[in-house]
Amino acid sequence: MSRIAVAMSGGVDSSVVAALLQQQGHEVIGITMQLFEPCSSGPGTPAHDGAQVAAQLGIPHHLLRLEPQFRDLIIDNFIDQYRQGQTPNPCILCNRLIKFGLLLEQARELGAELLATGHYVRRTVGPDGLCHLRTAANQAKDQSYFLYSLSQQQLRQVIFPLGEIASKDEVRSLATGFGLAVATKGDSQEVCFIPNDDYAAFLEQQGIKASPGNIVHIGGQVLGRHSGTHRYTIGQRKGLGIGWSEPLYVLEIDSSRNLIVVGEQQHLLKAGLIGADISWIIPPPATSFNTTCKIRYRHQPVPCRVELLADDQCRVLFDEAQRSVTPGQFVVFYQDDQVLGGGRIQAACTAEQP
């Protein structure tokens, strides 16, 4: 049996992971990350609930204080991208740098052979010894999109015990069976450091000024005023406060000129995108190949052609034009249930662009 560290967030999923591994006879260590200063230290917080579950299971528990690193690597990056008119996904960066970076290092320092997390994803090892990342049995909860940037070295040191469990109800049933105090605890919010998912309020609290500017139609007409570019996202229709002969959507966020560009629905459709900082879990099959991709978490994979470019970039051409391709989000490539790799969306492309 192995000495395994479990990333314990105080939620149902990671708590069940710890209990399952202990049941299997492994020596389990609990580690809870404190990523930012909580509003309280009482029930419901990761530190409290993680320690409570560890005490129930009788396993060691460690609190890993990472507030400065999380601020530098994740929150400041998130704010900077909004300043540039992009719509970031901080969870992907957090997984690569924090959970499977600093936390994995701590697990190794504690003598753990492996790090286990509550992610809904599967890891397999091929006959060639390469690790493969695959979608979860529970497709509704699959989190493979967030882990595309993990390296072979990281994947060799991690396991995902919930990857083969078919439903969240089954996980909650296991939690109840183990008698875990968090069995009925709700799922976590979308972005952990943004209170009440109020992005605009958080960004303004962090120093981004709500600078009003023009809302401009793609044809050039000024239609109204916006309340700050950070308050808008590509594809947004509601809350624009402008009138037009047909519905209008946000097409572009131009922070350098403090403009929101809007247009009719057909202008949201894009033929492809340019990806940057591309990384691969397994080597790409060729410099140009057909596969499928997702351009946001809840997006269904769509057929596309990938062309590798210099400087870890790629061009992606969709078989059918896709709506709301958003710079700052991520494109992730799939071959059936296997994650190939992915990268940050740098720009959307129309059919006329090279």
Predicted local confidence at residue 259, as pLDDT = 97
| Res 253 pLDDT > 70 | yes
| Res 353 pLDDT > 60 | no
DSSP 281: S
Predicted local confidence at residue 190, as pLDDT = 77
Residue 186: pLDDT band with limits 50, 70, 90? confident
Residues placed in the known binding site for ATP: 7-14, 33, 118
Q: What is the CATH number of domain 3-195?
A: 3.40.50.620
| Res 352 pLDDT > 80 | no
Looking at residues 187-202, what average pLDDT do you find?
Answer: 88
Q: Measured between alpha carbons, how far is 223 from 7 in angstroms, rounded to an integer? A: 50
pLDDT in tens, 206-220: 999 999 999 999 999
How many other C-beta atoms lie within 10 A of the C-beta of residue 18? 30
Residue 297: pLDDT band with limits 50, 70, 90? very high
Q: Measured between alpha carbons, how far is 41 from 46 in angstroms, rounded to an integer? A: 9
DSSP 39: S
* Better-predicted residue by pLDDT, 196 or 342: 342
pLDDT in tens, 120-157: 999 999 999 999 999 999 999 999 999 999 999 999 99
Predicted local confidence at residue 37, as pLDDT = 79
Cβ(117)–Cβ(28) under 8 Å? no
Whole-Å CA distances, 333 to 74, 145, 278: 23, 9, 10
Mean model confidence pLDDT for the chain: 95
| Res 354 pLDDT > 50 | no
Residue 109: pLDDT band with limits 50, 70, 90? very high
Note the Cα 103 to chain centre separation in Å.
17
Looking at residues 100-121, what average pLDDT do you find?
Answer: 98
* Better-predicted residue by pLDDT, 278 or 44: 278
Note the Cα 309 to chain centre separation in Å.
24
CATH fold label, 209-263: SH3 type barrels. (2.30.30)
Residues placed in the known binding site: 7-14, 33, 118
Residues belonging to the active site: 94, 192
336 forms beta bridges with none
Q: Measured between alpha carbons, how far is 155 from 25 in angstroms, rounded to an integer? A: 22
150 Cβ contact partners less than 8 Å away, ≥ 6 residues apart: 95, 96, 100, 133, 158, 281
Spans of all domains in the chain: 3-195, 209-263, 268-349
Q: Report the candidate in 7, 24, 54, 42 with the shortest Cα–Cα distance to residue 181.
A: 54
Predicted local confidence at residue 216, as pLDDT = 97
For 274, the 3-state DSSP assignment is strand
Tokens of 46: 């990761």
Q: Measured between alpha carbons, how far is 231 from 240 in angstroms, rounded to an integer? A: 10
Looking at residues 186-205, what average pLDDT do you find?
Answer: 89
Query: Does the domain spanning 268-349 belong to CATH 2.40.30.10?
Result: yes
